[in-house]
Amino acid sequence: MEEQGSPIWIDGKLVDWADASVHFVSNSFQYGFGVFEGIRAYDGEQGTSIFRLDAHIDRLFKSAKIIGLDIPYTRETIVEACRETVAASGHSQCYLRPVAYIGYGGMGLNYTGCKVSVGIAVWFWGEYLGQGKLEQGTRVKTSSYTRHHINSNMSKAKACGNYMLFQMARTDALRGGYDEALLLDAEGHVAEGSVENVFIVRDGQLITPPLTYILDGITRDSIIQLARGAGLVVREEFFTRDAMYIADEAFFVGTGAEVTPVVALDDRPIGQGVPGPVTRRLQSLYFDAVRGRDERYAHWVTPVAGV
């Protein structure tokens, strides 16, 4: 994390990194009530471009609706603010973090009347699961924590408070010497990683859990479209952890993790224990798409130039 990063957009103004603080008496700080997004910008065919910006901002507003937070800006304002913040950072590739939150008050578990703020920070973020993992793959551990039940924390909202569970799961996995955690749903099916959706490959076909218990990941959607566009069969079906042990290949997808091979689960090698050919092919399709090199998916990238 940068000590002195680039300006942060807060409620219409670019504020110096060092001055972008939130009051101690903040409902979002104390109770985790807020929603956020994680987006990447890549140095692509049209210069620095943000990948699937509209889809991410759309999900931000949907997450807010789910938890009952009224964002006092239009989608267009937030889309333009993202472009402006990336442009002001001078980064050619970066990660964007928009957050909608209550910056002050709301101590009685009631934020009625409190101002809703939106901030957007930008920083450089390399390989989320660790340097070299896109190439070598990751070793993953099934978590002892269950992905939130769908009637407790809302699975379709990318809500701040949901990440306490994901952080505990991820920290446990890292302390155990693994690269990431795999969470099961309340019924015991494979759900998702702490910040990734998951796919397995069996007999050349892709299988990913249906959206029932999981976040509707934008990378998941991109991969489904890219795979089908390449003639691969993709099925949305529940599967169990032992089905993942005996899969031919497995991989995680997410804005941060991009397309990262999973080469072992619970110390059992998946397939040959190395990234497989279908995973490699999807990595290459994905990295072409994010950089605007694939005409068919050119509408997925928003150039930052001309803000």
Helices (H), strands (E): how many in the chain?
8, 17
Q: Which is nearer to ligand PMP, 102 or 224 (CB)?
A: 224
Residues 145-164 that bind ligand PMP (CB under 6 A): 158
Task: Count residues binding ligand PMP (CB under 6 A).
Answer: 14
In the list 85, 89, 142, 197, the residue contacting ligand PMP (rule: CB under 6 A) is: 197
Examine residue 195 and tell whether it contacts ligand PMP (CB under 6 A): yes
Give 11's contacts (C-beta < 8 A, 6+ positions apart). Answer: 117, 118, 119
Closest CA to 33 of 113, 110, 119: 110
Determine whether 158 is an active site residue: yes
278-306 burial by CB neighbour count: b if 16+ within 10 A, else e? bbeebbebbbbbbbbebeebeebbbbbee
Rounded-to-integer distance, Cα 105 and Cα 40, Å = 32
Examine residue 219 and tell whether it contacts ligand PMP (CB under 6 A): yes
Examine residue 255 and tell whether it contacts ligand PMP (CB under 6 A): yes
Cα–chain center distance at 115? 26
Instruction: Name the one range near ligand PMP by CB under 6 A: 174-182, 204-212, 214-222, 290-298.
Output: 214-222
Question: Helix, strand or coil for residue 22?
Answer: coil
Examine residue 226 and tell whether it contacts ligand PMP (CB under 6 A): no
Of 13, 65, 133, 158, which is the active-site residue?
Answer: 158
Question: Helix, strand or coil for residue 263?
Answer: strand
In the list 38, 47, 130, 161, the residue contacting ligand PMP (rule: CB under 6 A) is: 38
Shortest approach of ligand PMP to residue 152 CB, angstroms? 15
* Sites of contact with ligand PMP (CB under 6 A): 38, 158, 166, 192, 195-197, 215, 217-220, 254-255
- What are the residue numbers of the active site? 158
